[in-house]
C-alpha cells in the first residue's frame, strides 16, 4: 500500500510542488541529455538507412574517436588540428570497414552483418586502448563549465553549448540530406538499393560516405560525452542507451531519432527524479527500454518508422 502510494501519488504531488522552476530544470536537463542520445542514435539511423546494417559498433566508434582525439591532444596537437586529424581517421576507418568487411558480406542475412559489427566493436575497443592506453582521460576543449541562470532555472553552460552545437549539427545533416546531390543519392539508396544502382548511384561510395558521416557524428558525440564524464571505456556503452531511442523513433527515420532521443531523455530524467526513490533508484538503465517497449505495443514500427507492409 505504502509502495503503491509512493509510485502512484507522491511523484505527482512532488511535481506539483516543484512546478515550475525545479520541474522545468528537470525537463530541460532531460532535453539536453536527450540531444546527446539523439546524436548517437543518428549515427545508427544513417547507417541502417543506407546499408541495412544494424551497426552495433557505433558506441565503439564514439569511444575510438574520443580516444584518438585525446591521444592526439596529449601528443601536443592544438584542438582544431587534433579534431581534423581525428576526422580524417574516422573517414579512413569508414573506408577500411567498407573495404575489409562490408564488401565481403553483401547479401548475407542481417544477423550476420549485425554480428560482424559486434566483432568490429571488440576490435575498435581493443585497438583504441592498445593505441592510447586504458586510463580515464580528461578531455578539455576549452568550453566554460559554469552555472548559468536562465529565467530562474540553473543550467550548466557546458550543457547548453553542447546542446546548441548538437542541434546545429543535426540541422546541418538534415540540410545535407535534403538538398545536396550526395544527400539525395543517400536517400535513394536508403529507399531501394537495386533501383539506386540502376540509375547509376555508386553503392560502395555511398556506404563509405554514410560510415564517414556516422564516424564524424560519433566524434562529436565522443567529444561531448568525453568532456562531461572523461574519456573511458564506458563511452562505448552509450550505444546501449541509444537503442531504445531507435525503437521509439523507428530505425529508418532521422526525425524519429531526434524526437525519440528527446522523449527518452526527458522521460528518463523525470522517472529518475520522481519515481526513482520509490523503487530504489538507478532506474535510468532500463527505464528507457521499458518506455520504448510499451510504445512498441501501440506502434510496432516506431514513431516515424515506415509502415510495415508484409506480403507472402
Shortest CB 125 distance to other proteins, Å: 6
Q: Crossing angle of helices 238-249/254-270, nearest 10°?
A: 110
Nearer to other proteins, 163 or 247 (CB): 247
Q: Which is nearer to other proteins, 22 or 289 (CB)?
A: 289
Give 150's strand partners. Answer: 153
Q: In whole angstroms, what is the distance from residue 152 CA to residue 22 CA?
A: 9
In the chain, what is the greatest distance between 2 CA atoms, to the nearest angstrom? 66
- Min CB(177)–other proteins separation in Å: 22
Q: Which three cell numbers stand for residue 43?
A: 549515427
- Give the nearer residue to other proteins in terms of CB position, either 113 or 227: 113
Closest CB to other proteins among residues 58, 163 = 58
Smallest distance from other proteins to CB 112, Å: 5
**In the complex, least distance from residue 264 CB atom to other proteins, rounded to whole angstroms:** 12
User: Which sign, positive or negative, has the C-alpha torsion 188, 190, 195, 197?
Assistant: positive
Nearer to other proteins, 182 or 301 (CB): 301
C-alpha cell at 60: 565503439
Shortest Cβ 81–other proteins spacing (Å): 26
Strand partners, 147: 156
Closer residue to other proteins (CB): 162 or 265: 265
Please report how close the Cβ of residue 154 comes to other proteins at its closest, in angstroms: 30
Q: Look-up: residue for cell 546545429?
A: 168
Question: How far apart, in whole angstroms, are the C-alpha atoms of residue 214 and residue 205?
Answer: 14
DSSP readout, 99-126?
Answer: HHTGGGGTT--HHHHHHHHHHHHHHHHH
User: Which one, 110 or 140, has the nearer CB to other proteins?
Assistant: 110
> Which secondary structure element, helix H or strand E, spans residue 129, and what is its range?
helix 110-132
Q: Least distance in Å: CB of 230 to other proteins? A: 18
Q: Which residues bind other proteins (CB under 8 A)?
A: 54, 100-101, 104-105, 108-112, 114-116, 118-127, 129-130, 134, 240, 243-244, 246-247, 251, 279-283, 285-286, 289-290, 292-293, 296-297, 300, 302, 310-312
The H or E element containing residue 153 is: strand 153-156
Extract the C-alpha cell encoding 137: 582521460
Q: Report in angstroms how near the CB of residue 32 gets to other proteins at its nearest.
A: 23
| C-beta of 41 vs 185, nearer to other proteins | 41
Amino acid at each position: 500500500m505504502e509502495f503503491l502510494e509512493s509510485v502512484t501519488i507522491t511523484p505527482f504531488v512532488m511535481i506539483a510542488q516543484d512546478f515550475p522552476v525545479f520541474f522545468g530544470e528537470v525537463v530541460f536537463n532531460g532535453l539536453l541529455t536527450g540531444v546527446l542520445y539523439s546524436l548517437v542514435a543518428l549515427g545508427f539511423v544513417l547507417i541502417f538507412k543506407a546499408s541495412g546494417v544494424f551497426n552495433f559498433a557505433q558506441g565503439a566508434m564514439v569511444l575510438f574517436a574520443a580516444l584518438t582525439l585525446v591521444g592526439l591532444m596529449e601528443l601536443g596537437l592544438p584542438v582544431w588540428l587534433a579534431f581534423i586529424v581525428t576526422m580524417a581517421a574516422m573517414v579512413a576507418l569508414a573506408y577500411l570497414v567498407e573495404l575489409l568487411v562490408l564488401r565481403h558480406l553483401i547479401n548475407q542475412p542481417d544477423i550476420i552483418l549485425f554480428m560482424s559489427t559486434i566483432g568490429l566493436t571488440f576490435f575498435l575497443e581493443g585497438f583504441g586502448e592498445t593505441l592510447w592506453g586504458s586510463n580515464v582521460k580528461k578531455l578539455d576543449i576549452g568550453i566554460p563549465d559554469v552555472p548559468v541562470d536562465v529565467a530562474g532555472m540553473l543550467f550548466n553552460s557546458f550543457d547548453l553549448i553542447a546542446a546548441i552545437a548538437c542541434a546545429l549539427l543535426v540541422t546541418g545533416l538534415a540540410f545535407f540530406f535534403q538538398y545536396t546531390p550526395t544527400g539525395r543519392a543517400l536517400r535513394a539508396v536508403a529507399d531501394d538499393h537495386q533501383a539506386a544502382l540502376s540509375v547509376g548511384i555508386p553503392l560502395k561510395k555511398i556506404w563509405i560516405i554514410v560510415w564517414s558521416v556516422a564516424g564524424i557524428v560519433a566524434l562529436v558525440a565522443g567529444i561531448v560525452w568525453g568532456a562531461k564524464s572523461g574519456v573511458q571505456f564506458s563511452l562505448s556503452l552509450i550505444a546501449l542507451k541509444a537503442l531504445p531511442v531507435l525503437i521509439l523513433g523507428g530505425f529508418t527515420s532521422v526525425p524519429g531519432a531526434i524526437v525519440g532521443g528527446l522523449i527518452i531523455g526527458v522521460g528518463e530524467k523525470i522517472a529518475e527524479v520522481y519515481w526513482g526513490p520509490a523503487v530504489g533508484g538507478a532506474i535510468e538503465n532500463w527505464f528507457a527500454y521499458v518506455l520504448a517497449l510499451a510504445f512498441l505495443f501501440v506502434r510496432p514500427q516506431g514513431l516515424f518508422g515506415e509502415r510495415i507492409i508484409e506480403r507472402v
